[in-house]
Structure 1
Amino acid sequence: MYRPRDTRRDELVGDITADLRAYTVDAQHVGHAFAARHGLGQTDLQALIAVMDAEGSGDPITPGRLGEQLNLSSGSITALIDRLERAGHIRRDRDTTDRRKIFLRYAERGARVAVEFFRPLGRRTDAVMDRFTEEELAIVHRFMREIVGSMREHRDAMRQAAD
Protein backbone atom coordinates (compact mmCIF):
# COMPACT_ATOMS: atom_id res chain seq x y z
CA MET A 1 0.00 0.00 0.00
CA TYR A 2 1.30 3.45 -0.93
CA ARG A 3 1.84 5.91 1.91
CA PRO A 4 2.60 9.56 1.30
CA ARG A 5 6.04 10.47 2.56
CA ASP A 6 4.74 12.90 5.20
CA THR A 7 2.49 10.21 6.69
CA ARG A 8 5.38 7.71 6.99
CA ARG A 9 7.63 10.41 8.44
CA ASP A 10 4.93 11.34 10.94
CA GLU A 11 4.60 7.68 11.91
CA LEU A 12 8.35 7.35 12.38
CA VAL A 13 8.53 10.53 14.46
CA GLY A 14 5.68 9.23 16.63
CA ASP A 15 7.33 5.82 17.00
CA ILE A 16 10.71 7.37 17.88
CA THR A 17 9.08 9.69 20.42
CA ALA A 18 7.28 6.74 22.02
CA ASP A 19 10.53 4.73 22.05
CA LEU A 20 12.39 7.60 23.74
CA ARG A 21 9.66 7.81 26.40
CA ALA A 22 9.78 4.05 26.98
CA TYR A 23 13.58 4.11 27.20
CA THR A 24 13.46 7.00 29.68
CA VAL A 25 10.93 5.24 31.91
CA ASP A 26 12.85 1.95 31.81
CA ALA A 27 16.16 3.71 32.48
CA GLN A 28 14.58 5.41 35.48
CA HIS A 29 13.41 2.02 36.80
CA VAL A 30 16.94 0.63 36.45
CA GLY A 31 18.38 3.72 38.15
CA HIS A 32 15.85 3.47 40.99
CA ALA A 33 16.73 -0.20 41.48
CA PHE A 34 20.44 0.67 41.74
CA ALA A 35 19.69 3.56 44.10
CA ALA A 36 17.43 1.42 46.31
CA ARG A 37 19.98 -1.39 46.47
CA HIS A 38 22.66 1.03 47.67
CA GLY A 39 20.58 3.33 49.88
CA LEU A 40 20.76 6.27 47.49
CA GLY A 41 18.20 8.94 46.68
CA GLN A 42 17.39 10.23 43.21
CA THR A 43 19.68 13.26 43.60
CA ASP A 44 22.47 10.98 44.82
CA LEU A 45 22.09 8.93 41.66
CA GLN A 46 22.11 12.03 39.46
CA ALA A 47 25.27 13.19 41.20
CA LEU A 48 26.99 9.85 40.66
CA ILE A 49 26.09 9.90 36.99
CA ALA A 50 27.45 13.44 36.66
CA VAL A 51 30.71 12.43 38.39
CA MET A 52 31.00 9.35 36.15
CA ASP A 53 30.29 11.29 32.95
CA ALA A 54 32.76 14.04 33.85
CA GLU A 55 35.46 11.57 34.77
CA GLY A 56 34.79 9.55 31.60
CA SER A 57 35.20 12.65 29.45
CA GLY A 58 38.55 13.45 31.09
CA ASP A 59 37.18 16.62 32.71
CA PRO A 60 36.48 15.77 36.36
CA ILE A 61 33.69 17.77 37.95
CA THR A 62 34.07 20.25 40.80
CA PRO A 63 31.54 20.63 43.60
CA GLY A 64 30.49 23.99 42.14
CA ARG A 65 29.84 22.56 38.69
CA LEU A 66 27.97 19.63 40.20
CA GLY A 67 25.78 22.05 42.14
CA GLU A 68 25.03 23.99 38.97
CA GLN A 69 24.25 20.84 37.03
CA LEU A 70 21.89 19.54 39.73
CA ASN A 71 20.51 22.99 40.49
CA LEU A 72 21.45 22.74 44.18
CA SER A 73 22.68 25.36 46.64
CA SER A 74 26.26 25.16 47.91
CA GLY A 75 25.04 23.91 51.30
CA SER A 76 22.94 21.18 49.70
CA ILE A 77 25.74 20.09 47.39
CA THR A 78 28.18 19.92 50.31
CA ALA A 79 25.77 17.70 52.26
CA LEU A 80 25.26 15.51 49.17
CA ILE A 81 29.00 15.14 48.57
CA ASP A 82 29.64 14.39 52.26
CA ARG A 83 26.95 11.68 52.20
CA LEU A 84 28.29 10.06 49.01
CA GLU A 85 31.85 10.22 50.29
CA ARG A 86 30.91 8.61 53.65
CA ALA A 87 29.12 5.82 51.73
CA GLY A 88 32.29 5.17 49.70
CA HIS A 89 30.83 6.18 46.33
CA ILE A 90 32.99 9.22 45.58
CA ARG A 91 36.17 10.86 46.79
CA ARG A 92 37.47 14.42 46.77
CA ASP A 93 40.84 14.97 45.10
CA ARG A 94 42.77 18.22 45.17
CA ASP A 95 44.00 19.65 41.89
CA THR A 96 47.75 19.12 41.60
CA THR A 97 48.31 22.63 40.19
CA ASP A 98 45.81 24.58 42.33
CA ARG A 99 45.41 22.95 45.74
CA ARG A 100 42.31 25.08 46.45
CA LYS A 101 40.42 23.33 43.66
CA ILE A 102 38.59 20.06 44.44
CA PHE A 103 37.62 17.41 41.91
CA LEU A 104 35.04 14.73 42.56
CA ARG A 105 35.86 11.22 41.40
CA TYR A 106 34.40 7.77 41.76
CA ALA A 107 35.84 5.97 44.76
CA GLU A 108 36.98 2.40 44.30
CA ARG A 109 33.96 0.99 46.18
CA GLY A 110 31.53 3.15 44.21
CA ALA A 111 33.04 2.14 40.89
CA ARG A 112 33.00 -1.53 41.88
CA VAL A 113 29.32 -1.61 42.87
CA ALA A 114 28.31 0.37 39.76
CA VAL A 115 30.21 -1.95 37.42
CA GLU A 116 28.79 -5.01 39.17
CA PHE A 117 25.23 -3.74 38.89
CA PHE A 118 25.37 -2.32 35.36
CA ARG A 119 27.62 -4.91 33.66
CA PRO A 120 24.67 -7.05 32.42
CA LEU A 121 23.03 -3.95 30.92
CA GLY A 122 26.33 -3.04 29.28
CA ARG A 123 26.52 -6.48 27.68
CA ARG A 124 22.96 -6.14 26.37
CA THR A 125 23.71 -2.67 25.03
CA ASP A 126 26.89 -3.89 23.33
CA ALA A 127 24.94 -6.74 21.70
CA VAL A 128 22.43 -4.25 20.27
CA MET A 129 25.15 -1.92 18.99
CA ASP A 130 26.94 -4.83 17.36
CA ARG A 131 23.95 -5.19 15.02
CA PHE A 132 24.57 -1.72 13.51
CA THR A 133 27.23 -0.56 11.09
CA GLU A 134 29.62 2.21 12.01
CA GLU A 135 27.75 4.56 9.65
CA GLU A 136 24.39 3.72 11.29
CA LEU A 137 25.87 4.26 14.74
CA ALA A 138 27.20 7.65 13.64
CA ILE A 139 23.68 8.70 12.61
CA VAL A 140 22.18 7.41 15.86
CA HIS A 141 24.88 9.23 17.82
CA ARG A 142 24.21 12.49 15.99
CA PHE A 143 20.47 12.11 16.64
CA MET A 144 20.96 11.33 20.35
CA ARG A 145 23.43 14.20 20.83
CA GLU A 146 20.93 16.63 19.32
CA ILE A 147 18.01 15.20 21.33
CA VAL A 148 20.04 15.51 24.55
CA GLY A 149 20.94 19.09 23.61
CA SER A 150 17.30 19.90 22.99
CA MET A 151 16.28 18.41 26.34
CA ARG A 152 18.99 20.37 28.17
CA GLU A 153 17.89 23.61 26.49
CA HIS A 154 14.34 22.94 27.66
CA ARG A 155 15.55 22.05 31.17
CA ASP A 156 17.55 25.26 31.39
CA ALA A 157 14.62 27.35 30.12
CA MET A 158 12.37 25.79 32.79
CA ARG A 159 14.98 26.57 35.48
CA GLN A 160 15.21 30.19 34.33
CA ALA A 161 11.42 30.53 34.31
CA ALA A 162 11.32 29.21 37.89
CA ASP A 163 13.84 31.81 39.10
Structure 2
Amino acid sequence: MSLPEKAFPVSWDQFHRDARALAWRLAGINVEWKAIVCITRGGLVPAAVISRELGVRLIETVCIASYHDYTEQGELKVLKEITPSLLENEGAGVLIVDDLTDTGKTAAIVRAMMPKAHFAAIYAKPKGRPMIDTFVTEVSQDTWIYFPWDMGFTYQKPISEDHRG
Protein backbone atom coordinates (compact mmCIF):
# COMPACT_ATOMS: atom_id res chain seq x y z
CA MET A 1 0.00 0.00 0.00
CA SER A 2 1.38 3.41 -0.91
CA LEU A 3 0.82 6.63 0.98
CA PRO A 4 -2.57 8.21 0.34
CA GLU A 5 -2.67 10.98 -2.24
CA LYS A 6 -4.23 13.62 -0.01
CA ALA A 7 -2.25 15.20 2.81
CA PHE A 8 -3.98 16.92 5.73
CA PRO A 9 -1.33 18.63 7.87
CA VAL A 10 -2.54 19.71 11.31
CA SER A 11 -0.71 22.41 13.28
CA TRP A 12 -0.52 22.48 17.08
CA ASP A 13 -2.95 25.41 17.12
CA GLN A 14 -5.44 23.62 14.90
CA PHE A 15 -5.16 20.41 16.91
CA HIS A 16 -5.77 22.31 20.15
CA ARG A 17 -8.83 24.05 18.65
CA ASP A 18 -10.16 20.71 17.40
CA ALA A 19 -9.58 19.04 20.78
CA ARG A 20 -11.48 21.88 22.49
CA ALA A 21 -14.27 21.54 19.91
CA LEU A 22 -14.51 17.86 20.79
CA ALA A 23 -14.66 18.79 24.48
CA TRP A 24 -17.56 21.19 23.74
CA ARG A 25 -19.46 18.40 22.00
CA LEU A 26 -18.80 16.01 24.88
CA ALA A 27 -19.87 18.62 27.45
CA GLY A 28 -23.18 18.84 25.62
CA ILE A 29 -23.85 15.17 26.28
CA ASN A 30 -24.34 16.04 29.96
CA VAL A 31 -22.63 12.97 31.42
CA GLU A 32 -20.41 13.12 34.48
CA TRP A 33 -17.43 11.15 33.20
CA LYS A 34 -15.77 9.02 35.85
CA ALA A 35 -12.59 8.59 33.80
CA ILE A 36 -10.96 9.07 30.44
CA VAL A 37 -9.23 6.16 28.75
CA CYS A 38 -6.93 7.38 26.04
CA ILE A 39 -5.62 5.14 23.31
CA THR A 40 -1.88 5.65 23.12
CA ARG A 41 -0.10 7.29 21.69
CA GLY A 42 -2.43 9.42 19.59
CA GLY A 43 -5.04 9.85 22.31
CA LEU A 44 -2.64 11.30 24.89
CA VAL A 45 -2.67 14.92 23.70
CA PRO A 46 -6.43 15.23 23.12
CA ALA A 47 -7.09 13.45 26.43
CA ALA A 48 -5.02 16.08 28.25
CA VAL A 49 -7.00 18.91 26.65
CA ILE A 50 -10.36 17.23 27.14
CA SER A 51 -9.63 16.29 30.76
CA ARG A 52 -8.87 19.93 31.50
CA GLU A 53 -11.96 21.22 29.73
CA LEU A 54 -14.33 18.68 31.29
CA GLY A 55 -12.70 18.56 34.73
CA VAL A 56 -11.93 14.83 34.59
CA ARG A 57 -8.96 13.95 36.80
CA LEU A 58 -8.74 10.19 36.29
CA ILE A 59 -6.92 9.41 33.06
CA GLU A 60 -6.03 5.87 32.07
CA THR A 61 -4.28 4.49 29.01
CA VAL A 62 -4.80 1.48 26.84
CA CYS A 63 -1.75 0.84 24.72
CA ILE A 64 -2.30 -0.69 21.31
CA ALA A 65 0.39 -0.82 18.66
CA SER A 66 -1.13 -0.59 15.21
CA TYR A 67 0.95 1.49 12.82
CA HIS A 68 4.23 -0.36 12.49
CA ASP A 69 5.33 2.04 9.77
CA TYR A 70 3.76 5.10 8.23
CA THR A 71 2.33 3.37 5.17
CA GLU A 72 0.48 0.32 6.44
CA GLN A 73 -1.47 -0.71 9.49
CA GLY A 74 0.09 -3.89 10.76
CA GLU A 75 -1.12 -6.48 13.21
CA LEU A 76 -2.73 -5.00 16.30
CA LYS A 77 -1.21 -5.80 19.68
CA VAL A 78 -2.51 -4.78 23.10
CA LEU A 79 0.59 -3.71 25.01
CA LYS A 80 -1.20 -2.49 28.16
CA GLU A 81 -4.70 -3.34 29.35
CA ILE A 82 -7.21 -1.03 31.00
CA THR A 83 -7.39 -0.98 34.82
CA PRO A 84 -9.97 -3.64 35.82
CA SER A 85 -12.04 -1.22 37.93
CA LEU A 86 -12.83 0.83 34.82
CA LEU A 87 -14.00 -2.27 32.99
CA GLU A 88 -16.80 -2.77 35.52
CA ASN A 89 -20.29 -2.32 34.11
CA GLU A 90 -18.76 -2.62 30.62
CA GLY A 91 -17.18 0.84 30.88
CA ALA A 92 -20.36 2.83 31.49
CA GLY A 93 -19.47 6.45 32.35
CA VAL A 94 -16.01 6.15 30.81
CA LEU A 95 -14.88 8.34 27.93
CA ILE A 96 -12.50 6.75 25.43
CA VAL A 97 -10.39 9.29 23.51
CA ASP A 98 -8.23 8.94 20.41
CA ASP A 99 -6.84 11.34 17.85
CA LEU A 100 -8.17 9.48 14.81
CA THR A 101 -10.31 6.53 13.87
CA ASP A 102 -9.00 5.30 10.54
CA THR A 103 -10.05 1.75 9.69
CA GLY A 104 -11.83 1.25 13.02
CA LYS A 105 -9.73 -1.80 13.91
CA THR A 106 -8.11 -0.25 16.98
CA ALA A 107 -11.44 1.22 18.06
CA ALA A 108 -13.10 -2.19 17.70
CA ILE A 109 -10.60 -3.75 20.12
CA VAL A 110 -11.19 -1.08 22.76
CA ARG A 111 -14.96 -1.05 22.13
CA ALA A 112 -15.01 -4.81 22.83
CA MET A 113 -13.28 -4.15 26.18
CA MET A 114 -15.76 -1.40 27.14
CA PRO A 115 -18.96 -1.69 25.09
CA LYS A 116 -20.88 0.87 27.21
CA ALA A 117 -18.14 3.53 27.16
CA HIS A 118 -18.48 6.64 25.00
CA PHE A 119 -15.90 6.72 22.21
CA ALA A 120 -14.65 10.08 20.93
CA ALA A 121 -12.01 11.01 18.37
CA ILE A 122 -10.92 14.31 16.89
CA TYR A 123 -10.81 13.01 13.33
CA ALA A 124 -12.69 10.19 11.62
CA LYS A 125 -12.44 8.39 8.32
CA PRO A 126 -15.47 6.64 6.79
CA LYS A 127 -14.35 3.08 7.64
CA GLY A 128 -13.80 3.97 11.30
CA ARG A 129 -16.82 6.23 11.83
CA PRO A 130 -19.27 3.47 12.82
CA MET A 131 -17.02 2.56 15.76
CA ILE A 132 -17.14 5.97 17.45
CA ASP A 133 -19.84 8.08 19.05
CA THR A 134 -18.50 11.64 18.75
CA PHE A 135 -15.95 13.27 16.45
CA VAL A 136 -15.11 16.73 15.10
CA THR A 137 -13.90 16.40 11.51
CA GLU A 138 -14.30 13.69 8.90
CA VAL A 139 -11.71 13.25 6.16
CA SER A 140 -11.76 10.89 3.22
CA GLN A 141 -10.30 7.41 3.59
CA ASP A 142 -7.44 8.25 1.20
CA THR A 143 -6.30 11.24 3.28
CA TRP A 144 -3.24 10.99 5.48
CA ILE A 145 -3.38 13.22 8.55
CA TYR A 146 0.01 14.61 9.54
CA PHE A 147 -0.19 15.34 13.26
CA PRO A 148 1.92 18.15 14.72
CA TRP A 149 4.08 15.77 16.76
CA ASP A 150 5.06 13.97 13.53
CA MET A 151 6.16 17.05 11.59
CA GLY A 152 8.93 19.55 11.22
CA PHE A 153 8.87 22.68 9.09
CA THR A 154 9.37 21.90 5.40
CA TYR A 155 8.25 23.27 2.08
CA GLN A 156 4.86 21.99 0.92
CA LYS A 157 4.11 21.66 -2.79
CA PRO A 158 0.93 23.39 -3.99
CA ILE A 159 -1.99 20.96 -4.34
CA SER A 160 -2.20 21.77 -8.06
CA GLU A 161 1.25 20.25 -8.62
CA ASP A 162 0.03 16.91 -7.29
CA HIS A 163 -2.78 16.79 -9.86
CA ARG A 164 -0.85 17.56 -13.02
CA GLY A 165 -1.04 14.83 -15.46
User: Under TM normalisation by the shorter chain, which class is it?
Assistant: 0.3 to 0.5
From the CA coordinates, give the structure whose radius of gyration is larger: 1
Which has a greater percent of strand? 2
Instruction: Name which structure has the greater RCO, CA cutoff 8 Å, separation 6+.
Output: 2
TM-score of the two chains, using structure 1 as the length reference: 0.34
TM-score of the two chains, using structure 2 as the length reference: 0.34
